[in-house]
Structure 1
């Protein structure tokens, strides 16, 4: 694991790389492999059942309600994406166990169908009916063993329970035993709905909820207890790259919590993997690469909220090192995610 460098050094280094190659994406670039690990689906049956909730959560992003596989493929082709990892960022839990289990199964079968219908273009993270752990464990097993899922996708909280909560331990035990990839996407926390009325809560809050759930996993001891889980946190892990030192220092004040972290708090944070959705700008990219090497960073778009090509162009403007770009654009995902 490479050591942390100062934020000033990281920003200077990234600025230098950007100056060395202030270039976009050309035809040669788009011919190179690109794997997008952050590509959302909205199955028609889900939109039919819960379009009101999707519209409310996606305020200002009307393209979400008009998503189709064909539109995904068109955006992928425009940006040079070879394979997109599909996931659901919208919840399937609305308080009813049977509905949540049904929506999760439907989403997983729909994603598996996209993989079959478009060989090599799609892979997917399974949707689980959490916080129903009793239903989530068999759904994970079914999706991984029967439907060919490449990992599971989780939200940062479920009914305001964060992923380090002891109630999720049976699921984490199953996933750890398999050495599974677990992709975590943030959702809005119940605490923080009305900070700025003119701004959709998700727009402001998602990075902070990623940070909350990572901290929950860290100090509950889950990251240490389940070391075979291969975590990927979207949106660069929220604020964790900037706050890693502050978060890790809590262990100094609480020896009881430090005892849960035999390798140390910072070492656990430095084992995590991140995607680049929303963090291809120079300051955010610098912070992330000061915490982990490029081999733990993967390209992600957040499509259909954001198109692929502008993010790939921004990444290349701000990080010109060929080895780092190769890792982020495809190498890291191929190394970490089975079946790519």
Structure 2
């Protein structure tokens, strides 16, 4: 059983420098964790250390992606200047480790037209398998029409877009995720809950804004078992008659959205996802290095899951291979 992992993060020294210039105090938790924590060496490693960690986890191929907030919190000119060098660096790592690494493009979403052009270059020239974007950019949610150039390019290329969480907008963070001290506040606003609520809401906004009606071939990948919203689709259906969409909202999840665990190896969430969207819409992601799999635990999660061998193969490799087989390079 070949196992692909689709949410496997890295960072570069140039991106770290850009974050420091923008925010010398590194007030955003993810920047602080990426720049000045025990995770930093693993994020910078695009070589043998990462491959060894994959071997330990039982992962055959990792799809590399620039960690959040990526280039999306930078001024447009700086983001544009960094996107090609960042992708070139990742592409070089893929060439050094053929079969072990693949790539998702980092995009300068503050300049959507330039981001769309870079997506075409990354897929067509570098051989990348799509892009990873974070849920908001420059104070705008990614459902906003100015970002639709990116989705148009992705649909045209038949290349998937992985939608990753990002820290909620400052006003939301201040209102909902403060008051318990920095360590708790940071985790509440990110990996414990805030990230997932925010990303799930972003996907709902994309559906309601008509993104998938305008780009019906667009394929989105959503981590962390669907970022909360997957568990509320029966309730969300109350908007079906109000939204003026071509299909019920749940149908977009079954036709345009893939789900990954994003590092949450939960049999309960796997069962729910199988019931909700089916095995043909689930793939694997380990969330390295924020989640560390050891001693074959990534492979063991699927190997021991109470599912059929056919569904196991779909989740481990067949869904991904089928998705990227249609990319127009």
Residue correspondences, number: 304
Contact 2:200–2:226 (Cα < 8 Å) also in 1: yes
CA RMSD of aligned residues (A): 2.3
Deviations 1:278-304 (A, max 9, x none): 442132222222211112111100001
Query: What is the DSSP-based 3-state SS (H/G/I as helix, E as strand, rest coil) of the residue aligned with 1:46?
Result: helix
Q: Please tell me whether residue 184 in structure 1 is matched to residue 168 in structure 2.
A: no
Match of 2:267 among 262, 282, 286: 282
**Residue aligning to 2:54:** 76
**C-alpha contact (below 8 Å) 1:47/1:54 kept by paired residues:** no
53-62 or 148-157: bigger deviation = 53-62
Structure 1, unaligned runs of 5 or more: 1-31
Q: Aligned match of 1:264 in 248, 252, 277? A: 248
Structure 1 distance, partners of 2:120, 2:263, is 31
- Aligned partners of 1:186, 1:322: CA distance in 2, in Å? 31
TM-score, with normalisation over the residues of structure 2? 0.85
Residue 215 of structure 1 corresponds to 204
Separation in 1, partners of 2:211, 2:79 = 25
CA shift, 1:233, in A, is: 0.9
CA apart distance, 1:222: 0.7
For the Cα contact (< 8 Å) 2:3–2:60, is it kept in 1? yes
Structure 2 unpaired stretches of 5+: none
Contact 2:254–2:281 at 8 Å: present in 1 too?
A: no
Q: What is the CA–CA distance in structure 2 between the aligned matches of 1:248 and 1:162, rounded to whole Å? A: 22
- Matched with 1:64 is 39
Cα displacement (A) at 1:118: 0.6
Determine helix, strand or coil for the equivalent of 2:105. strand
Secondary structure of the residue aligned to 1:40 is strand
Corresponding residue number in structure 1 for 2:310: 323
Tell me the distance in 2 between the aligned counterparts of 1:161 and 1:48. 24
Aligned to 1:26: none
What displacement does 1:315 show? 4.1
Cα displacement (A) at 1:49: 3.9
Matched residue SS, 2:163: strand
1:89 and 1:263 map into 2 onto residues whose CA distance is: 33
Tell me, yes or no, if structure 1 residue 224 matches structure 2 residue 213.
yes
Q: Any conservation in 2 of the 1:37–1:333 contact (CA below 8 Å)? A: no
Q: Deviations over 1:224-275 (max 9, x none)?
A: 22111121111122112211122222123x2xx22xx212222112221011
Aligned CA distance change for structure 1 residues 246 and 89 (closer, same or farther; 3 Å): farther
Kindly indicate whether the alpha-carbon contact (under 8 Å) linking 1:33 and 1:80 is maintained by their aligned counterparts in 2.
Answer: no
Deviations 1:20-66 (A, max 9, x none): xxxxxxxxxxxx31111111111233234436649831666723311
Does 2:190 match 1:202?
yes
